[in-house]
Structure 1
């Protein structure tokens, strides 16, 4: 024998009051993540734009003859421009100088005696940057170079994300971006030739 539902139980089954708050509780976390993600992406794009623009200004200033002896001031101005947007950013700056654009990111020459296409510690090489060891990049580190030299100027920026909640879902709490540009110094004098030294370990 089946009992017919009472009026009160029928009202409870058909009552939809309060469902909106439950639906919101389910949707809200996803919605918040989308909003926060959009804001983070937008902020990241803005920071990249500011960093690249500041780097271009600093690189041009570095190549001027009038600034050849004041690279620390140029770097300080670059940091100040970036920190107007991200005051607590950690900023690292690196310069590598080359004789020509074709030398940028090019390894030092070596005798590949065993034909494996890689430099081995016992092979002879031509030391182009004066550090007495073979390098995968022949540029002179931390150097603005001289007249008419080519400089690879790189800046790396690390800063905390806007929302600290990313750690809760296993994401890093910091953004790290980098930008680089390659420019030639003004020809304010005779360019020094980069003469390599042959070294056989």
Structure 2
């Protein structure tokens, strides 16, 4: 039977007391968490900055859209907003715009009115509704696509989607893409009489 070396206990004691590589070992343990936190902070800061740029550009566009004849230059205004945002987002970012015009501010987000003859809260059974957006169906949003005409209240929205700049989203369980949405509400200048006439329809 082989006896253990008498030098082994002394060697173990020296290894236990060795601290020269402790810092390197500790850093290897905490570095993944530290890097995740740093990338997360950069990601949050970039998202907030992009959101501020988007809101600022949209507010400027909203003021431009209230001018007479802005409807003919809406594409140019959208382009200016997109160019401002593209300065801080990846080239693969997608930017889309929505504009819904309404007769008044109180109409924003409201459904088209209808005669609820059977008091069930649903437009059905050939009940008559006011087709504010003239699309032939009763909608839960009475807005009409586009910036409308004189005195109309417009809900103008920009939606930006882009891939995250840092790969930490996989480690943190976050989605790969960031989606930002900015909205402004404005009223067109009173350069003409407002048209309130709207056709009616019947619900099925």
Q: TM-score, normalised by structure 2?
A: 0.88
Q: Which residue matches 2:192? A: 189
Asked if the contact 1:65–1:186 (Cα under 8 Å) also holds between the matched residues in 2, the reply is yes
Kindly indicate whether residue 116 of structure 2 is the aligned counterpart of residue 112 of structure 1: yes
- The Cα shift of 1:135 comes to 0.4
- The Cα shift of 1:168 comes to 4.5
Q: How many residues get paired?
A: 198
Spell out, residue by residue over 1:118-161, the C-alpha distance to the aligned partner (whole angstroms, 9 max, x if none).
444754322111001010000102x1111111100010000111
Q: Which residue matches 2:105? A: 101
2:136 to 109, 129, 132: 132
Cα 1:119–1:66, aligned 2, differ >3 Å: closer, same or farther? closer
Q: Which residue matches 2:159? A: 156
Q: Secondary structure at the match of 2:116?
A: coil
Cα 1:175–1:4, aligned 2, differ >3 Å: closer, same or farther? same
Cα 1:121–1:165, aligned 2, differ >3 Å: closer, same or farther? farther
Q: Which residue matches 2:50? A: 47
Q: Which residue matches 2:94? A: 90
Asked if the contact 2:130–2:200 (Cα under 8 Å) also holds between the matched residues in 1, the reply is yes
1:166 to 146, 153, 169: 169
Cα 1:39–1:194, aligned 2, differ >3 Å: closer, same or farther? farther
Asked if the contact 2:128–2:200 (Cα under 8 Å) also holds between the matched residues in 1, the reply is no
- The Cα shift of 1:111 comes to 3.0
Instruction: Calculate the aligned-residue CA RMSD, in Å.
Output: 2.1
Structure 2 gap segments, 5+ residues each: 1-5
Q: Which residue matches 2:3? A: none
Q: TM-score, normalised by structure 1?
A: 0.89
- The Cα shift of 1:59 comes to 1.3
Give the Cα separation in 2 of the matches to 1:123 and 1:191: 27
Q: Which residue matches 2:181? A: 178
Asked if the contact 1:51–1:179 (Cα under 8 Å) also holds between the matched residues in 2, the reply is yes
Asked if the contact 2:162–2:179 (Cα under 8 Å) also holds between the matched residues in 1, the reply is yes
Spell out, residue by residue over 1:39-87, the C-alpha distance to the aligned partner (whole angstroms, 9 max, x if none).
1111111011000000011111111114231111111111111112225
Q: Secondary structure at the match of 2:100?
A: strand
Give the Cα separation in 2 of the matches to 1:112 and 1:146: 30
